[in-house]
Amino acid sequence: MSYSVLGGGKRVRPALCIASAMAVGQSGKAALVPGCAVELIHAYSLIHDDLPAMDDDDLRRGSPTTHIAFDEATAILAGDALQTLAFDWLADAPLLDDSTRLAMVRELARGSGHRGMVGGQATDLESVGKRPSIEQLESMHQHKTGALIVAAVRIGALTAPDLTPGQIEALTDYARTLGLAFQVQDDLLDIEGDTTVIGKRQGSDQARGKPTYPSLMGIEQARQYLAKLLESSLGSLQSFGNEADMLRAMADYVVARTH
């Protein structure tokens, strides 16, 4: 479990959780444990995604994947344990009342379950070797990648006792668009990235016949779409002042990252 969580990574989701709390006027301290819970879910999902029954990857974050470093059974159990630990942490998160913790548990369950990340991964596996429409690809990634990013942002916002419907709607729009941008950049890095930099096998999606944005619309159009998504994501924050600058910086980072 420690190997999988602490062995590198960008920590985008917990950073988004804290930045979202700051955007609604909170210090971010109350979002720290919830953000870590989201990261535990993300780590478990990577362990299981890398398994031979799914993506069959042997490299993650520049190191052997968990089932290679240990064994397949241990990797499955580590992922299971990280998933349950996430909800354990969230249920006892400090500086929050019980109703807020319950709302956060609901957000994380929905973002990571069959209506979110897991459902998206199932669709992803079914799409190998096929050529879906852009709309179908977008729906898949809104679930597989985007749902947990949306959950991270919404969970951070829930730390504000006076959160307004307008604020949560704007932050959800920001996160939903950012999730798609994250995936488009991932797809571009799979083609243009260096294995030593991106920490996984360059070209692995293409080798497995997975549909990607560049494969469906071309590299240049994918870049243009990425820029459009960034503009839309930042536009969702127009009603916020300087308190949302960390969210704006996170959006810029997502589209400019090299790994």
CATH code of 230's domain: 1.10.600.10
Domain count, the chain: 1
1, part of any domain: no
Half-sphere exposure of 112 (CA within 13 A, CB side): 25
**pTM assigned to the model:** 0.95
225, part of any domain: yes
188, part of any domain: yes
59 strand-pairing partners: 64
Mean pLDDT, range 197-211, rounded to an integer: 67
For 60, counting Cβ atoms within 10 Å of its Cβ (0-12 exposed, 13-18 middle, 19+ buried), the class is: buried
- For residue 36, pLDDT over 70 is answered with yes
- Distance between first and last Cα of the chain: 22
6, part of any domain: no
What residue numbers bound the domain in which 122 lies? 11-256
181, part of any domain: yes
4, part of any domain: no
Place of tokens 């190191």: 63
Cα gap 210→70, rounded to integer Å: 27
2, part of any domain: no
Q: Write out pLDDT tens, residues 145-200.
A: 999 999 999 999 999 999 999 999 999 999 999 999 999 999 999 888 666 555 65
138, part of any domain: yes
Residue 231: which residues within 8 A CB-CB, separation 6 or more?
none
Q: How many beta carbons lie within 10 A of that of residue 256, not counting itself?
A: 9
